[in-house]
């Protein structure tokens, strides 16, 4: 399958040390199968940091998600488990992972979802209200690669 990474600079080698902390699934390399989402991310990145929007394309054999070599987890939709996983990772402001997965697949917590998550974290809404507010949101998946073992399964096109 093809996965896309929206950025503002070409990437020769994936470098975890430049990944930001406090992201949905932790410190790692993020891609999406949604080309339009990657284009929006590239534009956003270039607008904030300068440079030119670039969408990098990678080939990924997703059969490894069902194999024994890598530790993976997939959240196909917005669930309590997904919300708690994202909450834990966003709260982690260190470079040490809050989990031991090589690859995580799940919905992107975009700005609107992030706002709902902040309301949930502040106790303004319950987890059930949080999930109800997301019920009709379009799901865009993201693929998180958090280890060198996971990265070796990506081939830049």
Q: Is the pTM of this model over 0.85?
A: yes
Q: Sign of the CA dihedral 63, 23, 137, 7?
A: negative
Question: pLDDT for 38-62, tens place per residue?
Answer: 999 999 999 999 999 999 999 999 9
How do the domains of the chain map onto residue ranges? 2-109+139-156
Average pLDDT estimate for 79-90: 91
Average the pLDDT over 6-32 and give the result. Answer: 94
Please give the angle made by the CA atoms of 111, 51 and 46, to the nearest 5 degrees.
10
Residue among 126, 122, 113 at smallest CA distance from 78: 113
Across 10-138, the runs of DSSP E, i.e. the strands, are: 29-31, 54-60, 72-74, 103-107
């Amino acid at each position: 399958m093809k996965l896309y990474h929206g950025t503002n600079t070409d990437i020769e080698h994936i470098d975890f040390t430049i990944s930001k902390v406090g992201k949905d699934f932790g410190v790692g390399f993020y891609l999406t199968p949604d080309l339009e989402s990657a284009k929006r991310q590239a534009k956003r990145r270039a607008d904030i940091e300068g440079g030119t929007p670039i969408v990098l394309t990678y080939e990924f054999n997703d059969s490894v998600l069902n194999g024994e070599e890598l530790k993976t987890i997939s959240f196909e939709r917005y669930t309590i488990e997904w919300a708690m996983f994202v909450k834990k990772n966003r709260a982690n402001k260190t470079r040490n992972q809050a989990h031991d997965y090589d690859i995580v697949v799940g919905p992107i917590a975009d700005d609107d979802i992030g706002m709902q998550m902040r309301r949930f974290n502040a106790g303004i809404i319950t987890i059930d209200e949080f999930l109800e507010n997301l019920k009709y949101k379009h799901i865009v998946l993201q693929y998180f690669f958090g280890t060198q073992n996971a990265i070796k399964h990506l081939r830049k096109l």
